[in-house]
Amino acid sequence: MYKKVDTNLNFVEREKEVAQFWKDHDIAQKAIDQREGSDTFTFYDGPPTANGKPHIGHVLTRVIKDMLPRYASMKGKNVLRKAGWDTHGLPVELEVEKAIGINGKEQIEAYGIEPFI
């Protein structure tokens, strides 16, 4: 199953081959299906940088927040694969309010929900 690793390996091409193999064989879905009915592992991750510029600190926390669900999955737990959860709205909403010079629910409704969104 495993090929001998060439010392002159083109890592970019190898990554593309692996990604294509996963796609062709639906590996991600098979990993999810095979854990159906297992104990569930839930990890609530907050939103990514909705209203700030990313920096190296975000990378470190993303790596750690990615490792925990992966580890639980490798231990046979059923893990929902969804980064972040629905808290993006408030920080983004506040930034939009600032940008267009309004404040609060009543002013948003007066401005119009659709244009605000």
84-117 per-position pLDDT tens digit: 655 566 777 888 899 999 999 999 999 999 998 8
Q: Compare 26 and 65 and report the one with higher pLDDT.
A: 26
Better-scored residue on pLDDT, 2 or 35: 35
CA angle 70, 71, 72 (to 5 degrees): 90
By C-alpha distance, which of 74, 82, 83 is closest to 34? 74
**Domain annotation covers residue 1:** no
Q: Which long-range contacts does 14-21 make (Cβ < 8 Å, 24+ apart)?
A: none
The tens digit of pLDDT for each residue in 36-87 reads 999 999 887 766 665 567 778 777 877 888 899 899 999 999 998 776 655 5
Task: Examine the domain organization and report whether 72 and 99 are in the same domain.
Answer: no
pLDDT of residue 93: 83
Does residue 4 fall inside a structural domain? Answer: no
Compute the distance between CA of residue 48 and CA of residue 54 in angstroms, rounded to an integer.
9
Same domain, 57 and 76: yes
Domain that includes residue 30, residue range: 11-85
How many structural domains are present in the chain? 2
Query: Is 5 among the domain residues?
Result: no
Q: Looking at the structure, tell me whether residues 15 and 53 fall in a common domain.
A: yes
Q: Are residues 114 and 74 in the same domain?
A: no
Give me the pLDDT at residue 83, please.
Answer: 64
Tokens 């990378």 sit on residue: 59
Indicate whether 71 and 26 sit together in one domain.
Answer: yes
Residue 88 confidence (pLDDT): 60
Query: What number of residues does the chain have?
Result: 117
112 and 99 in a common domain: yes
Q: What is the pLDDT of residues 13-23, one digit of tens each?
A: 989 999 999 99
The alpha carbons of the chain give a radius of gyration, in whole angstroms, of 21
Residues 101 and 75 in one domain: no
